[in-house]
Amino acid sequence: MNKTILTLAIASLSLVACKKDGEKVDSQSAVDSTAVKTEDTAAAVMPDSATINKAWMDYATPGEAHKMMMAENGIWNGEMTMWMHAGAEPMKQTVSAEYKTVMGGRYQEGIHKGNFMGAPFEGKSTLAYDNATQEYTSTWIDNMGTGIMIMKGKYDPATKQFRMEGDCVDPVTKKTKKMREVVTVVDDNTRKMEMFDTGYDGKEFKNMEIISTRKK
């Protein structure tokens, strides 16, 4: 009787051990299978060197959009009208801007000067056309603040307008608000820039307009 019980116990332990060994094998097989699949996926999505080189060449090569930016090169004089809030009395100032393309015609840089409420004003803009995303990105900094405004958008050849959207932080509320800019190409030597701000009531209003003419 004791021998029978001992035999059954040994048999049970053997079955448990075999089951665990089987689970280990299955688990290892699953890991190996996952590794193989990962390697296969990586190999499948990895482009060849010729494709990679061409993509980077296309990304770095200035195109028609960059030629448009280059056409802006020069000094522009502007008549600026500002509104501090919706329904406010307009304030008029004269401003100037000098544009040039940099880094082999890949980017536009603008230096802006003028007066704001009797104080000297200076600003700097950059404009890029991203060949990959096929959209424009602009940045703006000036001596009236310490932040950077970033906008993105596209050019509509039908209306001859650059339409950009972005946001900035309101120094009064410390909250982010939406901004919008529309630049219309009136002719080769005339541009109309309109800036739209968001009021404290959450509604959009036109806060700036600049009519610029190229200095000859």
pLDDT in tens, 183-212: 999 999 999 999 999 999 999 999 999 999
Among 105, 113, 122, CA closest to 66? 105
Contact predicate 177/39, CB 8 Å? no
In DSSP notation, 72-123 reads: T-EEEEEEEEE-SSTTPPPEEEEEEEEEEEETTTTEEEEEEEEEETTEEEEE
Whether the pLDDT of residue 58 is over 70: the answer is: yes
Whether the pLDDT of residue 21 is over 70: the answer is: no
Pick the more confident residue, 19 or 6.
19
pTM here is 0.77
Beta-carbon count within 10 A of 136 CB = 21
Beta-carbon count within 10 A of 181 CB = 19
